[in-house]
């Protein structure tokens, strides 16, 4: 290893694996991977049985497979998007056991027996879910990449409000009520760089009002 320290930076800090992109300071830990460990076989394959969009699925997966990659690469349900793979954007949102989750942050093997809904389970182009139809009407999207996550998130979010679960902006922790401010707060885990935000809030408002009447 021929590393030339530059301005106050130690040799150890520069020594890194090629994948040490997160931070140079993390490099020493990553470089500590020993050759022996590297030669280990894949982690064992694990059987997972779960219900996706009403359909029972029986999969044998590499234990490292995320719930998101299980859907996208194994079930070929590519409607759930991978925007970051780090739990930072919400493009991968699924409804798991009634709650919305960032599916990229969850391993598939943790969901044995679970019931999961993805965007494909909400509706189809010919038979859109009311939330999907409202997004089209209000132009609640542009490139469409964050959109499945926004829609799935919105559907689950309305349930959360209905059940009275409070958020950071709820004036009353006992009785959360629907408002645009609540929607903006609760949807803030779903990034949209095209910034259809006002249209998304309007679409969700439509669905909320429709459900009420």
Question: Burial level of 119, CB count in 10 A (0-12/13-18/19+)?
Answer: buried
Write out the H or E segment, with its range, that includes residue 94.
Answer: strand 93-96
84 binds ligand FES per the rule CB under 6 A? yes
> DSSP characters for 50-76?
EEETTEEEEEEEETT-BHHHIIIIIS-
Does residue 73 interact with ligand FES by CB under 6 A? no
Near other proteins by CB under 8 A: residue from 52, 95, 148, 161: 148
Distance CA 93, CA 9 (A): 41
Taking CB under 6 A as the rule, does residue 194 contact ligand FES? yes
From the list ligand FES, other proteins, none, partner contacted by residue 92 (C-beta under 5 to 8 A by kind): ligand FES
Residue 143 Cα distances to 2, 140, 148, 149, angstroms: 46, 10, 11, 13
Pick the piece of the chain touching other proteins (CB under 8 A) from 93-101, 109-117, 144-152, 158-166: 144-152
Q: Residue 167's binding partner, choosing from ligand FES, other proteins, none, with beta-carbon cut-off 5 to 8 A by kind?
A: none
Q: What are phi and psi of 152, to 5 degrees?
A: -60, -45
By CB under 6 A, tell whether 198 contacts ligand FES.
Answer: no
- Number of residues forming the site for other proteins (CB under 8 A): 92
Please give the Cα distance from 114 to 97 (Å, whole number): 6
List binders of other proteins among 19-78 (CB under 8 A).
19-24, 27, 30-31, 33, 35, 38-39, 41-42, 62, 64-65, 69, 72-73, 76-78
99-102 vs 93-96, strand pairing mode: antiparallel
Minimum Å gap between C-beta 58 and other proteins is 19
Distances from the Cα of 121 to the Cα of 19, 78, 180, 212, angstroms: 36, 12, 26, 23
Cα–Cα distance, 109 to 203 (Å, whole number): 35
**Residue 85 in contact with ligand FES, rule: CB under 6 A:** yes
Q: Is 90 in the site for ligand FES (CB under 6 A)?
A: yes
Is there binding between residue 135 and ligand FES (CB under 6 A)?
no
Among positions 150-209, residues that touch other proteins (CB under 8 A) are: 151, 180, 183-185, 187-201
Name the residue nearer to other proteins (CB basis): 62 or 114: 62
Nearest to 106 by CA among 67, 70, 57, 69: 67
* Residues 139-178 interacting with ligand FES (rule: CB under 6 A): 141-147
- Interface contacts to ligand FES, rule CB under 6 A: 82-85, 87-92, 102, 104, 141-147, 192-194, 196
């Amino acid at each position: 290893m021929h590393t030339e320290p530059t301005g106050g930076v130690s040799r150890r800090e520069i020594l890194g694996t090629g994948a040490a992109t997160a931070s140079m300071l993390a490099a020493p830990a990553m470089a500590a991977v020993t050759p022996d460990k590297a030669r280990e076989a894949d982690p064992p394959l694990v059987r997972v049985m779960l219900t996706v969009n009403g359909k029972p699925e029986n999969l044998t997966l590499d234990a490292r497979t995320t719930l998101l990659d299980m859907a996208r690469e194994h079930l070929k349900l590519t409607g759930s998007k991978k925007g970051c793979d780090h739990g930072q954007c919400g493009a991968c949102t699924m409804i798991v056991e009634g709650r919305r989750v960032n599916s990229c942050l969850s391993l598939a093997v943790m969901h044995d027996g679970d019931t999961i809904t993805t965007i494909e389970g909400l509706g189809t182009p010919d038979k859109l879910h009311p939330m999907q139809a409202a997004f089209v009407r209000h132009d609640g999207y542009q490139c469409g990449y964050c959109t499945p996550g926004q829609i799935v998130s919105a559907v689950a979010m309305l349930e959360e409000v209905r059940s009275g679960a409070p958020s950071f902006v709820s004036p009353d922790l006992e009785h959360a009520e629907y408002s645009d401010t609540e929607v903006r707060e609760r949807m803030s885990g779903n990034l949209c760089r095209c910034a259809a935000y006002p249209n998304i809030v309007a679409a969700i408002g439509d669905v909320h009002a429709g459900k009420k009447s």
